[in-house]
Chains A and B, each alone.
Chain A
């Protein structure tokens, strides 16, 4: 949005005209591409790191404690070494190895949770909108009820009662709280689509319910579905990181949130060990900015009025 705003109106208008002439694809807008690039960069760190870096350094005590990144000095006067290019934490773990394993883990929880949540949401939303009646009432009320319950608080109770969980388990638990808004969204869309000409046409020509649902209606919902998916990825990651920062969540697997938790508990802020909490924070920031950009880009796909403005 910034690059175009910088230009005088006339050039922007010319550019707009060129875009319209080209019938260009709304899916190729810069926000969407940048957002996807940021997320892919994090995945790339995870993939490349696994190939190129010694992951045994992630074990406690495998390196000297609290070493700074290369080019910096810590309070004890030790300089960073290339053996641990972005420093080590207070438990003697290499930060790079922590991130290579932790960052994809965090993203994985978010993606898996919202994938499950979305599937539930699509199923329930279509059922509610299409079937109506008692089923609609039940689904609508339960979505309304569940949408006001903050997932973090319920999951805190759960995880403090059960102790250690696996990443997949945490994702499944979070999924229990991200199906509500897709359900509501899809239900509303299905209700309005049911009145539209092409759906009635399909009904009149004797198409089956599943054909109408999945072949006629679903394709039109794709931008909304993607938007909703990205929004729930964000919610899931926020929740997962929240749990990890409270010291819950997986105890033995490195995640970004848990690294921050350990850093805060060890007083990394006062000891000026900025790389310990700062690098996971930065990566999470990149992740959220990427998700936001994707979401804004998708908004432009589904809402052409926004396209004119930016």
Chain B
């Protein structure tokens, strides 16, 4: 079992914190550079609701004070950074007195659930197919059909989502068009609700799975080619072990490990893709929250959602890096790595 040297842990932790800090800083700086004044947007919203607003100068000043944008930039920055570390992003301007963190907390389980589900399915299917492509004994059909199907896996999930949505939701009406659960069922741990969630989640998950399994299959194919020629595989064959046993225990087990690190590099794109899938399916996750916030120019929510997604990405990479030596005992972390 590999143990994690302290220097390596500190190094990874440093990278993690730096990543989150830099991302948070960029997210903070960008709106400050923009000529758009959030207080004026809020005032505009009031004016749109009431027709006209009296004492607009005083209201603007009060709004700026409420949003804390009348303070010096340094104070604002540190307040923001400390707030971000405890997930306090202020109040949403569109859904006014609701804190951004509440909105995110409501949306996050949907996004994480969809993500983990589709990730596990694609990882499994993709690696299995990739291995079968190289395996000598797999049926001819596998070797012809998979590479042909793989061409479609270069497509981002939003496009496959549109296509599946049109075929299965709009045309055949097998699945609902939008939402994460039916509006006719009460959310809760009832069978009805769970059924509705599965029914609604199927298409979004499928549209992600269809286009991502090829990435794993391709990677696995390359790794399996490397493993195929190894002496221990030849020895296992010479010993007369069952071919299927060799495939699972000798080849896949050895080839699959670098795939886990590939995951770390891919996760950012996966999450971004999923956000878009959620947007087109109007799935109750972070994607929809983000899209609604963009429509309403709700900056605290946009910042919060971006921050949380970046945090999830960075944390996953960190965890993969740390857990890797436990999964693959051949890897020992160098203290200087």
Chain A residues close to B by CB (< 8 Å): 1-2, 5-6, 141, 144-154, 156-158, 160-163, 181, 234-235, 238-239, 241-242, 245-248, 260, 264, 269-270, 272, 274, 277-278, 281, 284-285, 288-289, 291-293, 303, 305-306, 309-310
Contact = CB atoms under 8 A, between A and B. Distances in A.
B151 A238 contact: no
Contacts of A156: 290, 294, 302, 306
Contacts of B165: 269
Nearest to B228: A309
B154 A289 contact: yes
Contact of A162 (B34, B280, B295, B310): B34
Given A2-B147, A246-B294, A152 B162 contact: no
Contact of B166 (A146, A153, A269): A269
A235 B269 CA distance: 8
Interface stretch (B14-22, B100-108, B123-131): B14-22
Given A161-B299, A292-B151, A269 B26 contact: no
Question: Secondary structure at chain A's binding surface: helix, strand, loop or mixed?
Answer: helix
A145 B26 CA distance: 13
Contacts of B226: 305
A187 B19 CA distance: 20
Nearest to A256: B159
A146 B170 CA distance: 40
Contacts of A239: 272
Given A161-B36, A281-B163, A247 B294 contact: yes
A152 B275 CA distance: 10
A300 to B, nearest CB: 11
Nearest to B264: A148
B22 A145 contact: yes
Contact of B30 (A6, A158, A270, A274): A158
Contacts of B272: 150-153, 238-239, 242
Interface in B263-284: 264-265, 267-269, 271-273, 275-276, 279-280
B291 A145 contact: no
B225 interface: yes
A102 to B, nearest CB: 15
Residue in A6, A145, A157, A293 with the greatest tally of chain B CB atoms within 10 Å: A157
Contacts of B159: 281, 284-285, 288
Interface of B: 15, 18-19, 22-23, 26-27, 30-31, 33-34, 36, 134, 140, 143-144, 147-148, 151-156, 158-159, 162-163, 165-166, 169-170, 177, 222, 225-226, 264-265, 267-269, 271-273, 275-276, 279-280, 290-291, 293-295, 297, 299, 302-303, 305-306, 309-310, 313-314, 317
Contacts of B134: 309
A150 B271 contact: yes
Given A238-B156, A269-B165, A284-B159, A154 B170 contact: no
B299 A160 contact: yes
A305 B228 CA distance: 12
B297 A160 contact: yes
Given A260-B162, A289-B155, A270 B22 contact: no
A293 B153 CA distance: 11
Q: 7 closest Cβ contacts across the A-B interface?
A: A292-B154, A150-B268, A161-B34, A152-B272, A153-B306, A161-B31, A288-B154
Given A145-B22, A148-B268, A150-B313, 7 more contacts: A148-B19, A152-B276, A153-B309, A238-B156, A246-B276, A246-B294, A247-B295
Contacts of A151: 268, 272
A270 B272 CA distance: 26
- Interface-central residue, B34, B156, B290, by most chain A CB under 10 Å: B156
A284 B155 contact: yes
B58 to A, nearest CB: 26
A241 B162 CA distance: 14
Contacts of A288: 154-156, 159
Contacts of A6: 144
Given A145-B18, A161-B36, A270-B170, A5 B154 contact: no
A242 B310 contact: no
Contacts of B279: 245-246
Contacts of A248: 294
Contact of A270 (B23, B177, B299): B177
A274 B57 CA distance: 49
A53 B104 CA distance: 48
A149 B19 contact: yes
Contacts of B313: 148-150
17 contacts: A2-B147, A5-B144, A5-B147, A141-B15, A149-B23, A151-B268, A153-B275, A154-B310, A157-B31, A157-B306, A160-B293, A161-B36, A235-B269, A242-B275, A246-B290, A284-B159, A289-B155
A293 B148 CA distance: 11
Nearest to B157: A238
A154 B26 contact: yes
Contacts of B269: 150, 235, 238
Contacts of B163: 278, 281
B309 A150 contact: yes
A247 B317 CA distance: 30
A282 to B, nearest CB: 9
Given A156-B302, A161-B299, A281-B159, A2 B144 contact: yes
Contacts of B143: 5
A293 B294 contact: no
B170 A163 contact: no
A285 B155 contact: yes
Contacts of A270: 170, 177
B151 A293 contact: yes
B306 A154 contact: yes
Contacts of A234: 154
